[in-house]
Amino acid sequence: MWSTACLFHHDGMIAFQPTSMRNSELFTLTYGALVTQLCKDYENDEEVNKQLDKMGYNIGVRLIEDFLARSSIGRCQDFRETADVIAKVAFKMYLGITPSVTNWSPAGDEFSLILENNPLVDFVELPDNHSTLIYSNLLCGVLRGALEMVQMAVDVRFVQDTLRGDNVTEIRMKFIKRIEENLPAGDE
């Protein structure tokens, strides 16, 4: 299997330079192992993408609480502010990177996150038989789940990926609607 080979290759690297092991590498490697396992379990890339998104969603709905508690950021007034918080605070806090925010739609309801270096794909090389696998699709689920908890329904998808030969990695975010708060049913 392809990423098993990658993992072994990386194991070697770690053994070679034990002092340079960073915490984020633990996550990167664990994620690699997860994707590898899913590919074994499902055979179909579409299904793997779906599972990754679902797992990400479940992480996102919890991660948002950790994020809010640690950053003490209040409610965003508009989608532009949301974009800034995601790129400059959240990505920085959890992945140590700051994607750039570009390609705003005229209506201001869509933007792109450009990831110069996606830490999830360190040491990864996609083999030819996984051309439809969206390797980092977990991130889409995380973003969707976290934003849903702050009343925003958002469509999140990878439109470019360096793993698949694109020049950059681009995540497209489209605001769908504000989730309204309602009184629970049965209350008057």
Q: Can you give the binding site for other proteins, defined by CB under 8 A?
A: 61-62, 64-66, 68-70, 72-76, 149-151, 181, 183-184, 187
Residue with tokens 């049965």: 186
Nearest approach in angstroms of CB 150 to other proteins is 5
* Closest to other proteins by CB, 62 or 92: 62
> Cα(131)–Cα(103) distance, rounded to whole angstroms?
26
Residue 83 in tokens: 């974009």
Could you tell me how far CA 39 lies from the centroid of its own chain? 18
Question: Are the CB atoms for 150 and 81 separated by under 8 Å?
Answer: no
DSSP track, 33-95: HHHHHHHHHH--HHHHHHHHHHHHHHHHHHHHHHHHHHH-----SSHHHHHHIIIIIIHHHHH
* Closest to other proteins by CB, 43 or 180: 180
* Closest to other proteins by CB, 128 or 181: 181
Question: Are the CB atoms for 145 and 81 separated by under 8 Å?
Answer: no
* Closest to other proteins by CB, 12 or 186: 186
Nearest approach in angstroms of CB 186 to other proteins is 8
Nearest approach in angstroms of CB 76 to other proteins is 8
Nearest approach in angstroms of CB 155 to other proteins is 20
